[in-house]
Structure 1
Amino acid sequence: MTKVFVFSLAALAIGSAIVPGAVSFRAEAATGSTDIYDYMVMNVCVGSDGSPIKGNPLECSQQRDVRPGDRIPYVHADFPASPKDTGCKALGMSRRYAFPLKAQGSDEAGQTYPLIAALTDYPPAGAPCDFGTFDARDTATLLAVGPKSASLVGAHHHGGWFLTIGAGYQDPRKAGVSRFMNTWSFPRTVPAKGQIGWGVFKRRTERFAAANISRQAFPASNAALGLTPTIQFWKRIEFKYGLKGTETRPVDTLLHIPFTKLAATGDAPGESRGSEHFYLTKELGYVTRWESWARDDANKDVIALARKAYTSPSCSMPATIAGQVTPHFWVGPVIDDVAAGVYRQQIVIKDRAGKKTSHGWYMTGCHDFTNVSAVAPYDPFAKLTEDDFGQDFIRQFQSNGRVPARK
């Protein structure tokens, strides 16, 4: 029987207690730790002295989280659109980076929170080798790791700045980063392998045209601001990544599945017709694989998209959280439907009266970012900085308006 843990907003942790404070940098192998920080930041292979060396984190035995000052001798990307692609196109369609910014967030109590930058780097159209410069095509996501949880707190892409607002924003006693926590969230302590956790989180995303967000446009708090309840599930699994037929070894993974609508029962998705699945690993961080899923009655050609995803060599058999997850939420196993050419599963939701509603769900897209290539050592912290987000934007996550540097 699968054990299920509820993500309590009172405790906001699964397993052992977490001592508040900034994350300390440490040289360790990819095994052992259950701190969500280690599943969000990319790793680097290290020698006996703890310094970075050449190697693929999916293969080397000695590794640690990347830290300021490191020069990284690899990049990881998704796989090319076609297995016939050569040269620059074979490097993949986009690259991923995940590393802590030098600045940190803070809350009303002065508690510091590491801020993690997750960069998706797309080369300009027509120049498939031109990675590395943050530009209009790229997406920068900002995550914060607090003493009890980690959350997606903001983003900058396509000419916009985005704040992911949580319930803390409705409380005038809150300040800085705590206004954006518990939105798109992850447990600070990752559960034991095979165990499922879930939680209900209120959130709202606001877009701004500039990094300098005025108090008129965004007051320090707003008790009346409407937030949408979401339900999010996660499970610690072992998963094989890579191209079909040449998959990696089983890799320790946190699978995160959020739904943007909540059922009246409070423990199941509402009328959500789509979902994204995120795979986080200690080796490559946030994210190592991404999938889009759609319900059979979604407002698009679900089967056509599912068939296209199924034919992609980089979209191997997906994982799931199969079983009776909550009293009102049942998830069936993923089926490799060779005849239909799709990956699908059944989800059943029961209402308060006991009536069951069943829908088929289909994987409609996938990016596996385990296409690792050796490169000349580079500084990942130069690819996306506080200045790229905008110092004024970063100050939104500061309780006192200044940006303390990591020691």
Structure 2
Amino acid sequence: MAWTWAWVAISMLLPVGAPAWADQPDDFIVQQVCVDGADRAVTDDPAHCGKRRKLRVGEVIPYRRVDAGNWQALYSYPVRGLDGEHRAMAEKVFGGNDTSGFYGDLGIRSGYDLLNVGPDYISGIRTSDPGGGDQIFWRNVNCERTDGWIMFPPGLERGQRGEARSTLKITPGPSTACPRMKLLFIAPDFTTWERPLEPIHYTSGKVLDTITSEHFAYGDPENPAHDNDSMEKFYFTREYGFSRWEAWETPAGCQKRAAKAGKPVADLCTPSPLTMCNGDNQATFFGKAYLRLDCRDSTYYVATADKPFNPLVNDAAPGDVFNRNLVTNGTIADGRKGWRAEGVGQRLDVARDPRTGNAALRIDCVDCSGAGVGQEIVVPPSRGATGLHWGASVESQGGAPVLAKLVLTLHPDGQPPQRIEHAVTVTGAWTSLDFDIPWRGGAEADTPATIELLVDGHADLMVDDLYVALLDKP
């Protein structure tokens, strides 16, 4: 496969202080949270706390991980596939201060890597980034998607290493329909992996039990005819899941790329600074010299108690993720797009948090009962779900209490509308409104629905991260 330089690759890390090996194969791709005596997630660093466990599907994350330049925030959380299989989403929010959801609000699109947990390998099946857009991986002409971009096998023990050869074809998303492919267009690739006996020292100063995976495009580096010039290296930890990514290239390959781009070699072929990622930035792989030209070491911890990250706001990987956000533009990254105004005499603008740059809708309404925002959505066939989880984040401006209602109205076919309404009083900083209802309807057909955030009387309110998602449990 041709290596996409702009792609922030599928990467993962392994958390610290872990036992010899995990009980489950996803222990190195789903990050952990610290918990209290009631098993509730708390704001602490799982690299240091005593009691911790893996994140659960739909659970908010009370911290974010960033790289040394605070350029990228990273989350590794579990998702359920449309086929019912367990997967992991490594989500990157470009602009490390931004506490909002998947696509970010800083004018730069964010990205993700979707990882499959198979019996033979943990493998990447889809990615998205600002340069390459949404990309879906296929392994062969039969449209099998697993074990193409191989990461490492489950059950890897300390001191073990290995390698595997595979094939890969990339097609643009979002459609997951089987494309027409010929063997001619399916490129070979080669992966090596290792779980070192000793934990790895990271730029953050943390020392973590780690699995590394090196992905060489185009065939076998041990073959003299092999013409690959690039490699991506991924690090996975038990505490953090996907933790670090590195891009390596041979000097010859980099010079060729610079000439093609019409740029000076020094602009593209200078090794990445050690302040971004520690360790060597020049190395030899299979007898060829390589330069480490880019990296993201996302093992720095930042608490987010004021506005925890909610994975259910994510609308990534349509067609692959069951519990994705059904609301369009739930993070307000695209301004007012998708949202209609309710009521009259109100001001509805997009405002930005001065601390983070995070965008949110501002509802400024004087004596305007019932004013707010709303959006029509569709709840797809339930596919075995037992509940709907829905909510929003709200913040009162100026300190005055605001009376508001979050309303979800379902219109099951042939049945009376089902209206669920929750009244809240917003008194200050960001407050998460999260609700569940049992839901087995729509097993065979789409169910039209509406989500609304309405205010009563005078209000100056910020609203963000609106979502409705199917879950296995109500």
The TM-score range, normalised by the shorter chain, is: 0.5 to 0.7
1:264 CA displacement: 8.5
1:404 CA displacement: 5.1
Letter in 2 for 1:251: L
Name the residue aligned to 1:19.
Answer: none
Determine which of 201, 205, 209 is the counterpart of 1:252: 209
Task: For residue 254 of structure 2, give the secondary structure of its aligned residue in structure 1.
Answer: coil
C-alpha contact (below 8 Å) 1:145/1:188 kept by paired residues: no
Determine which of 244, 256, 262 is the counterpart of 2:219: 262
* TM-score of the two chains, using structure 2 as the length reference: 0.56
Q: In 2, Cα distance between the equivalents of 1:190 and 1:271? A: 32
Name the residue aligned to 1:96.
Answer: 74
Q: In 2, Cα distance between the equivalents of 1:68 and 1:160? A: 25
Task: For residue 170 of structure 2, give the secondary structure of its aligned residue in structure 1.
Answer: strand
Q: In 1, Cα distance between the equivalents of 2:222 and 2:279? A: 31
Letter in 2 for 1:95: A
Name the residue aligned to 1:185.
Answer: 150
1:30 CA displacement: 3.6
Letter in 1 for 2:212: L
Residues 271 and 145 of structure 1: is their aligned pair in 2 closer, same or farther, counting only changes over 3 Å?
same
Letter in 1 for 2:231: S
Determine which of 309, 313, 316 is the counterpart of 2:272: 309
Task: For residue 72 of structure 1, give the secondary structure of its aligned residue in structure 2.
Answer: coil
Residues 192 and 382 of structure 1: is their aligned pair in 2 closer, same or farther, counting only changes over 3 Å?
same
Question: Alpha-carbon deviations, 1:250-289, whole Å to 9, x = none?
Answer: 21101110100223966x8922111111111111112x11
C-alpha contact (below 8 Å) 2:251/2:269 kept by paired residues: no
1:233 aligns with 2:233: no
Structure with a larger share of its residues in helix: 1
1:196 aligns with 2:161: yes
Identity rate, percent:
21
C-alpha contact (below 8 Å) 2:34/2:49 kept by paired residues: yes
Q: In 1, Cα distance between the equivalents of 2:200 and 2:81? A: 32
1:313 CA displacement: 1.5
| 1:103-118 superposed matches below 5 A | 103-106=80-83, 112-118=84-90
Q: In 2, Cα distance between the equivalents of 1:308 and 1:202? A: 29
Name the residue aligned to 1:31.
Answer: 19
Residues 228 and 132 of structure 1: is their aligned pair in 2 closer, same or farther, counting only changes over 3 Å?
same
| 1:25-104 superposed matches below 5 A | 30-34=18-22, 35-80=24-69, 92-101=70-79, 103-104=80-81
Structure with a larger share of its residues in strand: 2
C-alpha contact (below 8 Å) 1:305/1:365 kept by paired residues: no
Name the residue aligned to 1:299.
Answer: 254
C-alpha contact (below 8 Å) 2:61/2:308 kept by paired residues: yes
C-alpha contact (below 8 Å) 1:306/1:365 kept by paired residues: no
| 1:313-332 superposed matches below 5 A | 313-318=275-280
Q: In 1, Cα distance between the equivalents of 2:231 and 2:384? A: 36
Unaligned runs of 5+ in 2: 1-16, 256-263, 323-380, 386-470
Q: In 2, Cα distance between the equivalents of 1:121 and 1:251? A: 23
Q: In 2, Cα distance between the equivalents of 1:51 and 1:155? A: 31
Unaligned runs of 5+ in 1: 1-28, 81-91, 107-111, 319-342, 349-357, 396-400
Name the residue aligned to 2:314.
Answer: 384
Question: Alpha-carbon deviations, 1:39-81, whole Å to 9, x = none?
Answer: 111110122332212210111132111113533221111122x
C-alpha contact (below 8 Å) 1:30/1:63 kept by paired residues: no
Residues 189 and 257 of structure 1: is their aligned pair in 2 closer, same or farther, counting only changes over 3 Å?
same
Q: In 2, Cα distance between the equivalents of 1:47 and 1:278? A: 31
Q: In 1, Cα distance between the equivalents of 2:183 and 2:292? A: 37
Q: In 2, Cα distance between the equivalents of 1:46 and 1:269? A: 53
1:317 CA displacement: 0.9
Determine which of 108, 126, 132 is the counterpart of 1:154: 126
* TM-score of the two chains, using structure 1 as the length reference: 0.64
Task: For residue 275 of structure 2, give the secondary structure of its aligned residue in structure 1.
Answer: coil
Residues 229 and 308 of structure 1: is their aligned pair in 2 closer, same or farther, counting only changes over 3 Å?
closer
Question: Alpha-carbon deviations, 1:104-132, whole Å to 9, x = none?
Answer: 253xxxxx421222111013xxxx74442
Structure number with greater CO (CA < 8 Å, separation at least 6) is 1
1:222 CA displacement: 5.1
Task: For residue 40 of structure 1, give the secondary structure of its aligned residue in structure 2.
Answer: coil
C-alpha contact (below 8 Å) 1:259/1:269 kept by paired residues: no
Q: In 1, Cα distance between the equivalents of 2:221 and 2:66? A: 40
Letter in 1 for 2:134: W
1:292 CA displacement: 1.3
